[in-house]
Amino acid sequence: MEQRNSAAQCIAQLSSSQATEREEAARELFRQGCAAAEPALRDWFAHPEFRALIRAGRPLLTVGIAVTPAHFEQIRASCGQPRLAEVPPGQDAREFEMEFAHGVRIDVLTTLNPSGGGAIARFLERFGEGIQQVECNVADVRRATQILRDAFGLEPVSPDSESPDGRAGADGTRVNFFLVPVAEGRKALIELVENPSPKSRKR
């Protein structure tokens, strides 16, 4: 797939019946999403304390793609109906992951209510289908949030009344969101994700 293909073209290709075409599209979406967030992530990863929170052996980045509910079902069907993530009640989202070689991971997201006020619904209404966020895996969301506050002057996006030091995410994760400047007039939504420990998964 040529790099000039737009995100919209690649997202359309995710529902292809051909596995190689889906993988090419996912690889390009992953590249575009990581490139968009790179100016911020480069500075974060250069900070020794933040870098120490990166968990060895885990995929570091995942690119989140927002699609309409109908397209969500088409993509999921083309991929063999992968498992849906367990999203906490009250959060307006459905999602599943697509994982490929060389650390390429795509999180396909949609809204439960296209006319509602949820984050994915608002994104789709404003921008249409596209790269919605980049997810960064860390060992401790609370500590990572504090580093971003102290070292970079950043405040998390707080979509509800829960603690700004992290809230419940899909599949037992703790998450936090930062809308960060990455270029003049452009921002990227970066989600910090702390996966549950093996012990907590067994509960």
pLDDT of 201 higher than 50: no
Categorize the per-residue pLDDT at 200 as very low, low, confident or very high, splitting at 50, 70 and 90.
Answer: very low
3-state DSSP assignment of residue 168:
strand
Residues 6+ apart with CB under 8 A from 33: 61, 63, 64, 131, 134
**How far is Cα 83 from Cα 106, in angstroms, rounded to an integer?**
14
Residue 78: band (very low, low, confident or very high) from pLDDT cuts 50, 70, 90: very high
The full DSSP string for 187-199 is EEEEEEEEPPPHH
pLDDT of amino acid 2: 43
Q: What is the pLDDT of residues 92-147, one digit of tens each?
A: 899 999 999 988 999 999 999 998 888 899 999 999 999 999 999 999 999 999 99
Segment 159-176, tens digit of pLDDT = 554 565 678 888 888 999
89 versus 165: the higher-pLDDT residue is 89
**Structural contact between residues 130 and 124, judged by C-beta atoms closer than 8 angstroms:** no
Tell me the whole-structure pTM to 2 decimals: 0.90
The answer to whether the CB of 145 falls within 8 A of the CB of 168 is: no
C-alpha distance across the termini of the chain, in Å: 43
User: Quick one: tokens of 44?
Assistant: 């974060």
Domains of the chain by start residue, with CATH:
7-202 (3.10.180.10)
Please report the pLDDT score of residue 185 as a whole number: 82
Q: What is the pLDDT of residues 15-56, one digit of tens each?
A: 999 999 999 999 999 999 999 999 999 999 999 999 999 976
